[in-house]
Amino acid sequence: MDVVTACYRHPQQTAAVSCQRCERPICTKCMVQASVGFQCPECTSARPQKVINSRTLFRGHNEVVVGKIIIGINVAVFAVMALLSGNPNGASGPVYEYGALFGPLVAAGDWWRVFTSAFLHAGVLHLGMNMLLLWFLSQEMEPVLGKMRFAILYVTALIGGSLGVLILSPLSPTVGASGAVFGLMGGLIVLQLRAHQNPWKSGIGGLVLINLLLTFAIPGISIGGHLGGLLAGAAAGAVLHPVSWPQQGAALRSTVVVGFAFTLGAFALAAASFFTVNPLF
């Protein structure tokens, strides 16, 4: 026998969903769209939606910790790379040579490049654009997923981006966090779809589309890195739960995604060995 749940604010109305924060049933009149899912008016009032303007753009969100750490590492590594190379507007010097993703060197045993390359950038503009987008996505996703799951999603997308590079362009030295950033966008789309939201209305669908068009239109952008990160992030997002959802099996889900990340890493090493000798293009 089906049980019909009424809205806690309008008992005469049938509930459409549950609030993603307090989990009380709410009708369509009470649904307020959040980053992922819907909240009731009371929870929305208790935690107002962010409005991004010139005054709040660089104001640190108190629930974003992992995002700030990742941005800080990227900026620090870029500063060291620029200092040691004497060239702040180009990828060069010992840090770049030791950390950039390059198929033949990965195949020769430099496995760490699958990871370190995502913390190197080929200029101030490259760094700034990636970090700005990372900051916006961190504000949307880290409070929703929680610190640990956000970090797991980011690393999984990072490795997926490196795998894409090693499949499509293993002979082109590659750096940048954009594969991981694309993965965050892919993860956010999947989370919104699971929460019965429209990614086009939230804006993330258009953002991904624009970035994909730029990926294929502008020479020198890593197609494999962007596609690999996007797909890996979407897959991870499909498994992970936001913290406000029922948490049955949450630890298992996180463990599965960690295993998926290690599997992607193993495939990346295998791809470096195979596609360096047998490039697709």
DSSP 39-100: E-HHHHHHSPPP---TTTTTSPPTT-SHHHHHHHHHHHHHHHHHHHHT-TTSS-HHHHHHHS
Decide if 232 contacts 159 (C-beta within 8 A).
yes
β-pairing, 32-33 vs 38-39, is: antiparallel
Orientation of helix 147-168 relative to helix 223-239, angle to 10°? 140
| Architecture of the domain spanning 71-277 | Up-down Bundle (1.20)
Of 117, 178, 244, 254, which one is the catalytic site residue? 178
- Encode pLDDT of 228-251 as tens digits: 999 999 999 999 987 766 667 888
Supply the pLDDT for residue 53: 36
Q: Catalytic annotation on 226?
A: yes
| Contacts for 173 with CB less than 8 Å, ≥ 6 apart | 91, 100, 101, 102
Q: SS3 of 236, please? A: helix
Joined together, the tokens standing for residue 97 give 């040579």
Of 121, 226, 241, 244, which one is the catalytic site residue? 226
Tell me the Cα Rg of the chain.
21
Decide if 268 contacts 114 (C-beta within 8 A).
yes
- Encode pLDDT of 175-220 as tens digits: 999 999 999 999 999 988 887 788 888 788 899 999 999 999 998 8
Q: Catalytic annotation on 126?
A: no
Whether pTM exceeds 0.85: no
pLDDT-derived band at 117 (thresholds 50, 70, 90) equals very high
- Which residues pair with residue 101 across a beta bridge? 174
Sequence ranges of the domains in the chain: 71-277
